[in-house]
Structure 1
Amino acid sequence: MLMDEGYDVIPAINGEDGITKFRESKPDIVFLDIKMPGIDGYEAFFRIKKIDSDAKIVFASSYALENEKYKKAKEMDLCGIINKPADFDEYEKMIKKYAKND
């Protein structure tokens, strides 16, 4: 739905792929699902923050949050969480708040 609205989107098939693509392209904002094949969204979050502590990351998930990992992510400037299923407006709100206006 983001591509349909004209946003540049770099999809990843799992957490490792997401980290690789983040390193290569440094996107303005990252949307991470918590449950992914391979490493989970929390681990991907922590690895991306090691690459760039200023990375803008939002969790998007239909799963319950793991309290300790979520608390640590919040302390490391997690931008927010979108509960799935979510509509386009919720994603766009995060994009407008955290992405650069180029």
Structure 2
Amino acid sequence: MLAAEYALGLMDQDERGDFERLLHRDADLRAELAFWQDEFSALVPGRGVPVPPHVLDQVRVTLFDEDRTGWLDALFAPRNRPLLIGVATAKVLLVAALIWLLFAG
């Protein structure tokens, strides 16, 4: 997935830097990137032509369910609900264990 995002130019500067460091160490990742660059080459008629930011934002929203409305909206996005449920469950179990330890003696 990261190779495809990089090939499409969807990463911000920090993400690109991290990915490029991985590329230097991982031959399989370089092969994966070459595959995606080849796959996407037919979709990119003018290499070197920057994609307008609003187009990239729409791609992120459409493909990755990323909405730039705010961190709170992103936190409660449908894709994060299993994580939130897991965290809430862990907190309930921790509180229950603490109560049991305090009063079980």
Q: TM-score range by the shorter chain?
A: under 0.3
The structure with the largest alpha-carbon Rg is 2
TM-score, scaled to structure 2:
0.26
TM-score, scaled to structure 1:
0.27
Which is strand-richer, 1 or 2? 1
**Larger relative contact order (C-alpha < 8 A, sep ≥ 6)?**
1
